[in-house]
Amino acid sequence: MTRTRIVVYGDVIDDLVVAPVGEVLRDADTMATITRVAGGSAANTAVWLGTLGADVALHGRVGADDLARHEALLADAGVVSRLSADPEAPTGTAVIIVEGPHRTMLTQRGANAAFDPAQVTDAELVEAAVLHVSGYVVFGATRPEGHDELAERALAAGAELSVDPGSASFLRSLGATRLRAIIARAGVLTPNLDEGRALTGLDAPADIVRSLAAAPGEGPEGAVPARPGGRTVALTLGAEGCLVGAGTAEPVAIPAAPARVVDTTGAGDAFAAGFLAAWVSEAGLAPLERAVRAGRAGVGNAARGVAVVGGRPV
């Protein structure tokens, strides 16, 4: 029986999206539009997957007082909730300041830091086509070695490992070693351009995709190690769409879909959801053709994502 379930794990966040009206004035009042929405990279991706009709479950951690609310939001989107409740820490919170195409994010990890990867069971992994990891969950984790263990358990169970790195600034930090080790195991990567540069030390998008996707060679110093058999890479390029590659095949450019840009928060999460939903459903295709079809679905869903405030469909 073909596996179709996508198991997502990572951050669940309550977002406070702030759109200043005009220039932000230091030491003074600035009028703004402020919207409270549920977010978090992993949760956003899971919700988009659910609305696309995918078979998806989400593992994460929230403050105990918020558990019922977040479970209801997931259920409404068709997501199987595997959330745990933290009796002490609050739900993670992010203040997102949106200024045109630019976003400044101020984040409190909250209950996310205490998420235990052991809650993703082997029984669930053996039924999963993909385990999708949001890189944010690795940073500040109270038991970081558990993420390595989960990656190994997923591969041993026959699930593919997909990683959205999450943050170029985190990847360049001293604490990024563990996330890089998880990325090295991944069969599917969905970084943006800045993250791709941080992972490889390269600048040109095509060179980045070749380095991350190809099986042979060690790549430039500091790059993510090549993976036996190669990997599928979808490098997102914002308004220029994405560049996809699979193994040693030459990368293919996919233009962005027409979009009315309201807020770019979570655009990468929407892309990852569209990509993974199509990638799982097209399992019988050759690797590059599969990546191209998934990339087209990804940019299409990203266009939906930037048309709403926050990182989830409305």
Q: Which domains does the chain have, with CATH numbers?
A: 5-305 (3.40.1190.20)
Look at residue 115 and give its three-state secondary structure: coil
Pairing assessment for the beta strands 232-236 and 188-189 based on DSSP bridges: parallel
Residues 6+ apart with CB under 8 A from 154: 125, 128, 131, 161
- pLDDT given for residue 169 in this prediction: 83
Name the token pair of 17: 């999206």
Backbone angles phi, psi at 193, to 5 degrees: -65, -45
Q: Count of residues for the chain?
A: 314
List the 252-254 sheet strands across, edge first.
80-86, 56-63, 5-9, 128-134, 160-164, 188-189, 232-236, 242-246, 252-254
User: Which residues of the chain, if any, have pLDDT below 50?
Assistant: 216-222
Both tokens of 137, joined, read: 């969950």
Query: Given this model, what pLDDT does residue 171 score?
Result: 81
Helix (H) or strand (E) holding 181: helix 177-185
CB-CB contact of 262 with 305 (8 Å): no
CA distance to 87, 138, 314, per residue, from 257 (Å): 43, 32, 19
Measured over the CA atoms of residue 94, residue 149, residue 170 and residue 163, the dihedral's sign is negative
Helix count and strand count (H, E) for the chain: 10, 13
Q: What is the SS3 assignment for 169?
A: helix
- The span from the CA of 221 to the CA of 232, in Å, is 21
Strands (E), 211-251: 232-236, 242-246
How many Cα atoms within 13 Å fall on the side-chain side of residue 37?
A: 22
What are phi and psi for residue 237, nearest 5 degrees? -125, 25
Which residue(s) pair with 94 in the sheet? 15, 107
Would you give the distance in Å from CA 164 to the centre of its chain?
4
Q: What is the pTM of this model?
A: 0.92
Place of tokens 């940073």: 139
Provide the pLDDT for residue 221: 47
**222 CB-contact burial (10 Å; exposed 0-12 / middle 13-18 / buried 19+):** exposed
Query: In the prediction, which pLDDT does 217 show?
Result: 46
Tell me the CA distances in angstroms from 76 to 46, 59, 167, 277, 314, one per residue in order: 12, 16, 28, 18, 11
Q: Which two tokens stand for residue 298?
A: 């990804």
Which tokens go with 270?
Answer: 């929407």
**CA 126 – CA 122 distance, rounded (Å):** 6
Alpha-carbon span 237 to 255, nearest angstrom: 9
